[in-house]
Structure 1
Amino acid sequence: MTQLIFHHNHQHLPPAGDGLLPVQLYGRSGKGRGDISIIGNPVIDKVKRLGVQIPSQVMDFLTIALAVTASDTFVRRADAEDGWTRRFTLQLPLHEPARWLPLKKDLERALHFLSGDMWDFEFQEGGYPPPVPYRQRDRFQLVRLRGLDCVCLFSGGLDSAIGAIDLLAQGRAPLLVSHAYKGDRAHQDQIAKALKGRYSRFEINADPHLYTGETDITMRTRSLNFLAFAAVGACAVQAVSQQEMIDLYVPENGFISLNAPLTPRRIGSLSTRTTHPHFIESIQEIFDATDIHCRIVNPYQFKTKGQMATDCQNRLLLADIVNSTVSCSHWKRSNQQCGICVPCVIRRAALHAGAITEDTEYTFDTVADVLNETDRRDDLLALRIAVIQKATRKLGPWIADSGPLPVPAFQDFQKVFLDGLDEVEAFLNAETVL
């Protein structure tokens, strides 16, 4: 069990100890203290640049998300008893803890589903209040919100690029919300510059720093932080537009959103649930219960990545920006997309299905080359096994392994999963690795 104690004032944090980690929210660690980890140092400035004061419940959701990100980052899975499942106790001050206490178990269940860890929140008084926004006359560059009508996650990936293109083609005016991590931002900027239509951008970075030791790299809870940033942006858009409810778009193809385990041994660590429908539904219920007026929408829940590319409402623009998009799960290690991880193969299969040519240089331009690399070929072998099994394995139990799904749409989920495997099969046949 790891206890993490959070506060925005370092003077309220105890010394670090065995199994106890003090974390300062929204600021740099205190002078003379070398045992404090930090998260969210750039966040308050970014929120102030929206030019409107966000509601208390949205600020508290952001605080919760940052605390979860800190826990997920600062506590290594390798140190857990089973090498995977961590047990957290989070002592966390909120601005309105009474609003969140009835939802404690709902949050803990949603996070257990998302990360596979055990979570226990202790909500307290004294949390960070919604910051007073900057004004234009303060000479700060504010985020342009006037005329916007929705929010869209904007990661620099192929799906998020298609999502932004389609919204703009439909005449929508989105606030594009991004994790502004080093490396990601350059790709996001290249894509955004090519977009046509009315939009604005809100870039923000959690910026976690552990005071000592190694951090965990699995990042299973990253989508909670993304949704929290988007909720902040959505409430700012709502304040300016006076809409009753703001659409918060999560553009993710249905095959990856389901992320059903390709083989039985990939049910655990290799089957992430960042945008799984059950997790998204859980967060929507929390939004509804706390009066966060966002409607989370994935318009591509029942489309494959290839169908997204094929049906993109501005295919010429997509072809122009495709080389700027990043799909690889490993690209930051070498600043190059590998071409053979699961996201890369699905990307390449989608562009093959959509007849879209890219000039991306992959580490493995020829997929078959990885078959001789025993330490790199696991993803490709798993995809091959899944393609072979799709003719005989029952789809219902297969996709249910990824988590609960709504019964009325169960056949639609089965179809998008099968269509996704068909796309991969066509690509692997073209690469002569089946």
Structure 2
Amino acid sequence: MTQLVFHHNHQLLPSASEGVLPVQLYGLSGQIRGDISVIGNPVIEKVKRLGVRISSQTMDFLTIALAVTAADTFVRRSDAEDGWTRIFKMQLPLYEPARWLPLKKELERALHFLSGDMWDFEFQSGGYPPPDPYHKRDRFKLVSLRGIDSVCLFSGGLDSAIGVIDLLKEGRSPLLVSHAYKGDKTHQDQIASALNGQYSRFEVNADPHLYTGETDITMRTRSLNFLAFAAVGASAVKTVSQQNEIDLFVPENGFISLNAPLTPRRIGTLSTRTTHPHFIESIQRIFEAAEIPCRIVNRYQFKTKGQMVTECQNKLLLAKIVDNTVSCSHWKRWNQQCGVCVPCIIRRAALYAGGISENTEYSFNFLADVLKETDRRDDLLAMRIAVTQKTTRNAGAWIADSGPLPVSVFEDFKAVFLNGLDEVETFLKAERVL
């Protein structure tokens, strides 16, 4: 078990020791001590630039999400007893802890589903308050919120690009919320510069730093942080627009959202659940109970990625920006999309299905080339196995391995999963690897 102790005042943090990790929130002053890790230093400045005070419950959700990101990043899975499942004891001050105490178990269950780890929160008083916003008279550049009516996650991926294109084509005016990591930001900026319509942008970087320098890279909880940044943006949009509830759009194709394990051995470690319907539903319940007025919407829950491409409401624009979008799960390691991981294969199959040509330079431009690479071909082999089994395996049991799904739309989930496999099959045959 690892106990993580959080506070924004580093002087109130204990010394690091075996099993105890002190983490400073929203600041860097503790780094001088040499045993304090930090997260969220750039965040408060970004929140202030929204120009309005966000709600206290939204601020606390942001604090929770940053603490979760710190735990997920700072504690390596390789150090866990089974090499994967970590046990976290989280001592975390909140601005309104009483609001969150009844939600503790719900939050812990949602995080266990998301990351596969065991979570135990101890909420305390004394948390960071919603910061006083900057104003125009302060001569700071503020995020423009006038006329903005919604929030949309904007990662720089193909799905998020299509999601924003469609919203703008329909006359919506979204606040685009992004993780502003160095490599991601370049792609996000290139896509945003080509968009047509009214939108604004809110870019935030959690900026985690472990005092020993060694971090975990699986980042199964990254979507919680993304949703927290979006909730912060939505709180500001609500104040300016005077709406009762803000649409928080999560553009993700249904096949990837389900992320059913392609083979039995991929249950668990190789199957992420970042936007799985069960997780999103859990966060929506937490939002409602905590009175965070966001309605999480994935309009593509029952669409494959290929259908998203085919039905994009401005395909000319999509074709123009497609080379700036990133889908690869490994691209940050080599600063290049690999072309052969599961997200890359699904991306390429989708563009093939939608008739969009790309000039992306992949590490493996031809799938057949990776078959000779024993350390790189696992995803392609798993895809081939899944495609060949789609007519013999029980599709309902297959997708149920990804997590609980609502009975009322279970057939729709089965359909999008099988349609997604059909798209991949067509592409693999075109690439002559099936």
Partners of 2:31 and 2:37 within 8 A in 1: no
Partners of 2:217 and 2:128 in 1: how far apart?
28
Alignment of 1:208-357 (within 5 A): 208-357=208-357
2:395 alignment partner in structure 1:
395
Partners of 2:360 and 2:332 in 1: how far apart?
15
Q: Deviations over 1:365-420 (max 9, x none)?
A: 00000000000000000000000000100000000000000000000000000000
Partners of 1:297 and 1:284 in 2: how far apart?
10
Partners of 2:4 and 2:31 in 1: how far apart?
20
Q: Give the 3-state SS of the residue equivalent to 2:30 in structure 1.
A: coil
Partners of 1:333 and 1:228 in 2: how far apart?
26
1:413 alignment partner in structure 2:
413
Q: Give the 3-state SS of the residue equivalent to 1:270 in structure 2.
A: coil
Counterpart of 1:12, as a letter, is L
Mark the CA change 1:114 to 1:31 in structure 2 (over 3 Å): closer, same or farther: closer
Partners of 2:196 and 2:213 in 1: how far apart?
45
Counterpart of 1:148, as a letter, is I
2:145 alignment partner in structure 1:
145
TM-score, normalization: structure 1?
1.00
Q: Give the 3-state SS of the residue equivalent to 1:391 in structure 2.
A: coil
2:49 alignment partner in structure 1:
49
Partners of 2:11 and 2:30 within 8 A in 1: yes
Q: Give the 3-state SS of the residue equivalent to 2:33 in structure 1.
A: coil
Partners of 1:3 and 1:89 within 8 A in 2: yes
Partners of 2:305 and 2:37 in 1: how far apart?
39
2:154 alignment partner in structure 1:
154
Alignment of 1:75-224 (within 5 A): 75-224=75-224
1:29 alignment partner in structure 2:
29
Where in structure 1 are there 5+ consecutive unaligned residues?
Answer: none
Partners of 1:29 and 1:36 within 8 A in 2: no
Q: Give the 3-state SS of the residue equivalent to 1:203 in structure 2.
A: strand
Offset, 1:31: 6.3
Q: Deviations over 1:278-314 (max 9, x none)?
A: 0000000000001100000000000000000000000
Partners of 1:29 and 1:37 within 8 A in 2: no
Q: Give the 3-state SS of the residue equivalent to 2:301 in structure 1.
A: coil
Q: Deviations over 1:47-73 (max 9, x none)?
A: 000000000000000000000000000
Offset, 1:29: 3.4
Partners of 2:110 and 2:383 in 1: how far apart?
28
Partners of 1:411 and 1:32 in 2: how far apart?
56
Q: Give the 3-state SS of the residue equivalent to 2:61 in structure 1.
A: helix
Q: Give the 3-state SS of the residue equivalent to 2:95 in structure 1.
A: coil
Q: Give the 3-state SS of the residue equivalent to 1:211 in structure 2.
A: coil
Counterpart of 1:307, as a letter, is Q
TM-score, normalization: structure 2?
1.00
Offset, 1:323: 0.3
Q: How many residues end up aligned between the 2 structures? A: 434
Q: Give the 3-state SS of the residue equivalent to 1:426 in structure 2.
A: helix
Q: Deviations over 1:94-142 (max 9, x none)?
A: 0000000000000000000000000000000000000000000100000
Partners of 1:41 and 1:206 within 8 A in 2: yes
Q: Deviations over 1:199-253 (max 9, x none)?
A: 0000000000000041000000000000000000011001000001100000000
Partners of 1:269 and 1:252 in 2: how far apart?
21
Q: Deviations over 1:34-88 (max 9, x none)?
A: 0000000000000000000000000000000000000000000000000000000
Partners of 1:332 and 1:258 in 2: how far apart?
24
Q: Give the 3-state SS of the residue equivalent to 2:3 in structure 1.
A: strand
Partners of 2:306 and 2:409 in 1: how far apart?
21
Partners of 1:189 and 1:314 in 2: how far apart?
19
Mark the CA change 1:198 to 1:213 in structure 2 (over 3 Å): closer, same or farther: closer
Partners of 1:157 and 1:14 in 2: how far apart?
40
Partners of 2:178 and 2:204 within 8 A in 1: yes
Partners of 2:31 and 2:211 within 8 A in 1: no
Identity of aligned residues (%): 80
Partners of 2:41 and 2:207 within 8 A in 1: yes
Q: Give the 3-state SS of the residue equivalent to 2:119 in structure 1.
A: strand
Partners of 2:26 and 2:50 in 1: how far apart?
17
Partners of 2:324 and 2:69 in 1: how far apart?
27
Instruction: State whether structure 2 residue 364 is matched by structure 1 residue 364.
Output: yes
Q: Give the 3-state SS of the residue equivalent to 1:177 in structure 2.
A: strand
2:374 alignment partner in structure 1:
374
Partners of 1:29 and 1:38 within 8 A in 2: no
Mark the CA change 1:32 to 1:190 in structure 2 (over 3 Å): closer, same or farther: closer
Partners of 1:205 and 1:55 in 2: how far apart?
20
1:7 alignment partner in structure 2:
7
Counterpart of 2:410, as a letter, is F
Q: Deviations over 1:327-368 (max 9, x none)?
A: 000011111100000000000000000000000000000000
Partners of 1:213 and 1:59 in 2: how far apart?
28
Partners of 1:285 and 1:268 in 2: how far apart?
24
Q: Deviations over 1:144-173 (max 9, x none)?
A: 000000000000000000000000000000
Partners of 2:31 and 2:38 within 8 A in 1: no
Q: Give the 3-state SS of the residue equivalent to 1:195 in structure 2.
A: coil
Partners of 1:93 and 1:424 in 2: how far apart?
47
Counterpart of 2:296, as a letter, is I
Where in structure 2 are there 5+ consecutive unaligned residues?
Answer: none
Offset, 1:30: 2.4
Partners of 2:205 and 2:222 in 1: how far apart?
11
Partners of 1:210 and 1:298 in 2: how far apart?
34
